Amino acid sequence: MALSPPATTPEAPPRRNLLSLDEDAALADAEVDGLTTLRRFKDSIHDLMPFGPAVCAVIDTPQFQRLRHIKQLGTSYYVWPGASHNRFEHCLGVAYLSQIFAEHLKARQPSLGITTRDVQCVTIAGLCHDLGHGPWSHVWDSMFIPAILPDKKWCHEDASNMMFDDLIKFLAEKGLDFDPDDARFVKALIMGDRSLCSENEKPFIFQIVANKTNGIDVDKFDYIGRDSHAIDQTSNLALKRLMYSARVIDNELCYDIKDAHQIFELCHTRMSLHKRIYTHKTGKWDFADKERDTHVLKSLAKAIEFMIVDALKLAEPVMNIARRLEDPKKYLHLTDEIMGTIESSDDPRLTEAQAILQRICVRDLYRPADSKVFRWDQKQKLKATFTPHSVVQSVKDLYENRAFDASALDGVRPEDVAELSQDHVIVDFTARHHGMQDENPLDYIKFYSKRNPNVGMHAEMDDISVTLPLMFGEVLVRVYTRDSRFLGLVQLGFRQVLKDFTRHEEAASLRHSTNLEIEVDLDLDERPASRTMATPPAEPQPSPSRQPARTLTRRGSRVLARHPSGVVVETHPMKENPFMTLPASYPNQSPKKGKKRERERTAAVDSSGERADAAAVAAPAAEGGGGDTDSESLDLNLMDVPAMAGVGAAPESPPPKKKSKS
Using DSSP, state whether 520 is helix, strand or coil.
strand
The model's pLDDT over 172-218, given as tens digits with 9 standing for 90+, comes to 999 999 999 999 999 999 999 999 999 999 999 999 999 999 999 99
For residue 182, count other CB atoms closer than 10 A to its CB. Answer: 19
CB 108 within 8 Å of CB 132: no
In angstroms, rounded to a whole number, what is the distance separating the alpha carbons of residues 157 and 164? 10
Q: What's the pLDDT score for residue 604?
A: 54
Using DSSP, state whether 248 is helix, strand or coil.
strand
Select the highest-mean-pLDDT range: 399-403, 488-492, 531-535: 488-492
In angstroms, rounded to a whole number, what is the distance separating the alpha carbons of residues 314 and 385? 28
CA distances from 111 to 171, 392, 567 (A): 34, 65, 42
The model's pLDDT over 429-451, given as tens digits with 9 standing for 90+, comes to 988 888 888 889 999 999 999 99
Q: What is the pLDDT averaged over residues 96-117?
A: 96
In angstroms, rounded to a whole number, what is the distance separating the alpha carbons of residues 165 and 597? 68
SS3 breakdown of the chain: % helix, strand, coil, rounded to 5? 50, 10, 40
Three-point CA angle 73, 46, 122, nearest 5°? 80
pLDDT > 70? residue 282: no
The amino acid occupying position 135 is P
33 band by pLDDT with thresholds 50, 70 and 90 = low
Give the torsion sign (CA, 316, 317, 318, 323). Answer: positive
The amino acid occupying position 508 is A
The model's pLDDT over 544-559, given as tens digits with 9 standing for 90+, comes to 444 444 443 333 344 4
For residue 546, count other CB atoms closer than 10 A to its CB. Answer: 7
For residue 355, count other CB atoms closer than 10 A to its CB. Answer: 11
CA distances from 549 to 527, 553, 554 (A): 12, 12, 15
pLDDT > 60? residue 609: no
CA distances from 281 to 297, 298, 554, 617 (A): 9, 9, 42, 59
List, by residue number, the catalytic residues: 156
For residue 316, count other CB atoms closer than 10 A to its CB. Answer: 16
Select the highest-mean-pLDDT range: 371-380, 560-569, 647-656: 371-380
Q: What is the pLDDT averaged over residues 344-362?
A: 96
CA distances from 655 to 101, 297, 650, 658, 659 (A): 74, 40, 15, 9, 12
Rg (CA), the chain: 34
DSSP character string of 286-330: ---STT---------HHHHHHHHHHHHHHHHHHH--GGGGG-HHH
* Least confident range of 100-104, 412-416, 606-610: 606-610
In angstroms, rounded to a whole number, what is the distance separating the alpha carbons of residues 178 and 124? 12
In angstroms, rounded to a whole number, what is the distance separating the alpha carbons of residues 601 and 587? 21
In angstroms, rounded to a whole number, what is the distance separating the alpha carbons of residues 575 and 258? 41
pLDDT > 90? residue 522: no
Q: Is the pLDDT higher at 332 or at 506?
A: 332
